[in-house]
Amino acid sequence: MAVPSRVLLLAVLSLLLVSVAVGHGEDKFQNVTYDGRSLIINGKRELLFSGSIHYTRSTPEMWPDLIAKAKHGGLNVIQTYVFWNIHEPVEGQFNFNGNYDLVKFIKLIGEQGMYVTLRIGPFIQAEWNHGGIPYWLREVPDIIFRSNNGPFKQYMKKYAKMIIDKMKEEKLFASQGGPIILSQIENEYNHIQLAYRDMGSRYVQWAAKMAVGLNTEVPWIMCKQKDAPDPVINTCNGRHCGDTFTGPNKPHKPSLWTENWTAQYRVFGDPPSQRAAEDIAFSVARFFSKNGTLVNYYMYHGGTNFGRTSAVFTTTRYYDEAPIDEYGLQREPKWSHLKDVHKALNLCKKPLLWGEHGVQILGKHTEAQLFEIPGTKVCAAFLANNNSKSPETVDFRGEKYYLPPRSISILPDCKTVVFNTQTIVSQHNARNLKSSKVAKNLKWEMSSEPIPTVEELPVDSKTPKELYSFLKDTTDYAWYTTSIELGPRDLPMRPDIHPVLRVASLGHALHAFVNGEYVGSAHGSHDEKSFVFQNAVNLKAGVNHIALIGMTVGLPDSGAYMEHRYAGPRAITVLGLNTGTLDLTVNGWGHQVGLTGEKMKVFTQSGSHRVEWKKADGQGRALTWYKTYFDAPEGNDPVAIRMTGMGKGMIWVNGKSIGRHWMSFLSPLGKPSQSDYHIPRSFIKPTENLLVVLEEEKGNPEDIEILLVNRNTICSVITEYHPPHVKSWQRKESKIRPVVDTVKPAAQLKCPNHQEIVAVEFASYGDPYGSCGSFLMGNCNAPITKEVVEQNCLGKTSCSVPIERELFIKDNDACPDIMKTLAIQVKCDHKKH
């Protein structure tokens, strides 16, 4: 296209420009607009790299470091949900304190020069209890969540206005000089919209109009909402939006990606799940090569579901495989490889935001996505190999380029490869958990939770009460009591036949006691909440007391008609009696919300004195409270507790719940989905920290450990075909120029927290294999590799080792025909004086 046509195109685009803010005449106030190319902040187009960090899933003491690591990782936006049910747990009573201090969190982001995307919901899903909707809303007469329903719209508008007004009062929107540049209303509504038919479509229209009417003066978005009404922007969620996103629903809206899933959240019973850094980088490069200008990593830091905040069956640990792990440590190579792709894309910024887009087919599986400004030499190319099994060598503009399988090479000047998504040149690391030398030899005491009978909990209902409506999300636990009187002739006469107690439940879990004795447990799963408990029981002639404790493990967070979900026992029978099956469903039941220990708050210092404790000795009975004291672990590393020997329950440190533990729910691999649980440093005092564990099953606390967590094992894996590190290049005077004397691949290592390299634990130049923390020698190795690495790295906080054959091979090359790999593993530690 000729230059005059380009000018004409820009003129047309300017007519389509959607302005959603009015400047206030001061430099700090930022006008946020958009067109079909990008967001425009204060008249300037931006490439936006965003990461989700939820303030509720970390502590205020962690926030500054998390935000700083995100910024250092190349992000310029932080995205967060707003969690209605923790801000308004009781209608009209608000909580914005501690790790619920939304305003403080946003201000900290702004102080570090970053932007914010605020997703106010009110439904957020987020694997958060009840999807963020407060329980009390279920009890509003005639309410239907997330539909064109009068009561729901009334409460939704009131909540949304409250949040927006709070942001305005603190001047947090960009139009007021604050960091918020985008707001989101609703969340992935297309998933359930058809279930509501016309009521769904009308609700979408209403929600958009209501949000825009709140006058935030920044754009509104709706994720996974193809029919988002103007001026609301529809955005993409998923793993590969560069291939799956059908695009904005109007030509004057930009392509935005609100959730690029960095892993897969886990539920209890799940095996480990991961997503490779290479795959994420590929997806980001693909999206930006197809006119995308904003990507958000969900999650960038997942954090911890403290207390009872996780959704149904979701683990306490959340998105630990994100670039910043649960403990706030950088997970490598994911963090650095994404930092590198951000750097590479920023080198392409001018052509990406102002160039003409074109596509050149290079082969059956290969292509070039091009961005050029006509009449200039400004050009960027994305060379893609879509073949997931084989590498390809392509001819592009007179040069040959090697492309590994399923990879994209980024050429900011259409000549120089500065980054390839499949070849990681940044460092790796491994997480280490070691026992604390201070917080050890724990002395445990125990106190049994009383098992009630129908005498303590008299019959108040003919049938067992529905669990959700009975508990009202105030606790996980509800007691159900009844009794039956049997004569000698009712009981089986043969010693090999026993009565069986059967309980059909709608979820989520259950423990059963007969005459005060624990007779077993059963539970559902994330995919199938309902279950049937059946166990042989010992019954006696006379009165038999049956006590069931029904449990929730978080409330549902997704799907249509969430206000019509149910849980708890629905049918109870005794089989195997001489007189036949006895139906106890309508026998008359007594009830109690919560445990006695919960009401006494035995997990607090004052509450712990309200019950009697005795020395814990071996395995305790089911439903027992355990307590001990520990001093603060040495150093400043993050702290975790490993729950070896325990089954299911909850953990408190100095009265603060760090979440549910569930060791007995094993994955298909035969291991718990989560064994280690984060204790934030801010929860811990220098000495005498009260640790209380509620154990629902038969547990033994003697093997519980307090651990210190670090990522001081760092590694590099580099091959001879790897490109040089992207930081070797810069754009200067519209050209890509090297910033180092010699541009070549090298192993780059840098210790965290100003530590230095104290040991080289593995080094091989040849064909090593394995991963960081578990490297193994191959058939080929240069004998002096470790010596070379030690000379370059020992005693330094960072080092670079070039991958040069003459550096490692002084005589004959024992395997000259193979492409060499250099693998290094070192240990970092603070310098010992």
Q: How many CA atoms lie within 13 A of 63 on its CB side?
A: 24
Peptide bond into 499 cis (omega under 30): no
- For residue 829, the 8-state DSSP code is E
- Taking the C-alpha atoms of residue 520 and residue 523, their distance in angstroms, rounded to an integer, is 11
Bridge partner list, 716: 824
The residue annotated as part of the active site, out of 46, 259, 392, 449, is 259
CB-based burial label for 330 (10 Å; 0-12, 13-18, 19+): buried
Residue 163 to residues 107, 117, 118, 214, 788, Cα–Cα distance (Å): 15, 14, 10, 10, 59
Provide the 3-class DSSP secondary structure of residue 471.
helix
CB 155, CB 140: distance < 8 Å: yes
Q: Could you tell me if residue 400 is left (phi over 0), alpha (psi between -120 and 50 degrees) or otherwise beta? A: beta
Angstrom CA distances, 330 to 53, 72, 280, stand at: 14, 11, 16
Catalytic residue among 46, 127, 186, 188: 188
Q: How many CB atoms lie within 10 A of CB 136?
A: 16
Pairwise CA distance, residues 135 & 89, whole Å: 8
Tokens of 318: 């959340």
> Residue 743 is encoded by which pair of tokens?
């541009």
Handedness of CA 747, 751, 756, 757 (dihedral sign): negative
- Rounded distance between C-alpha atoms, residue 481 and residue 461, angstroms: 10
Pairing of strands 233-238, 255-261: parallel
Determine the 3-state secondary structure of 600 from DSSP. Answer: helix
Is 259 labeled as catalytic in the residue annotation? yes
Contact 650, 657 (CB under 8 A): yes
Instruction: Give the CA dihedral 236, 242, 248, 252, nearest 10 degrees.
Output: 130
* Contacting residues for 686 by C-beta, under 8 A, at least 6 apart: 631, 632
Asked if the bond preceding 299 is cis, omega within 30° of 0, the reply is yes
- To the query of whether residue 188 is one of the catalytic residues in this protein, the response is yes
φ, ψ for residue 78 (rounded to 5)? -115, 135
Phi-psi region of 503 (alpha: psi -120 to 50; beta: other; left: phi over 0): beta
Contact between residue 669 and residue 744 where contact means Cβ atoms under 8 Å apart:
no
239 burial (CB, 10 Å; 0-12 / 13-18 / 19+) is middle
What is the full DSSP assignment across 177-226? TSSEEEEEES-SGGGTGGGGTHHHHHHHHHHHHHHHTT--SS-EEEET-T
CB burial of 85-113 (b: ≥16 within 10 Å; e: otherwise) equals bbbbeeeeeeeeeebbbbebbbbbbbeee
Tell me the helix, strand and coil percentages in the chain, rounded to 5. 20, 35, 45
Could you tell me the two tokens for 240?
């590969």
Biggest CA-to-CA distance, the chain: 102
Contact at 8 Å (CB) between 404 and 422?
yes
- Residue 116 sits at φ, ψ, to 5 deg, of -135, 140
Structure tokens at 349: 């910024």
Q: Which positions are catalytic?
A: 188, 259
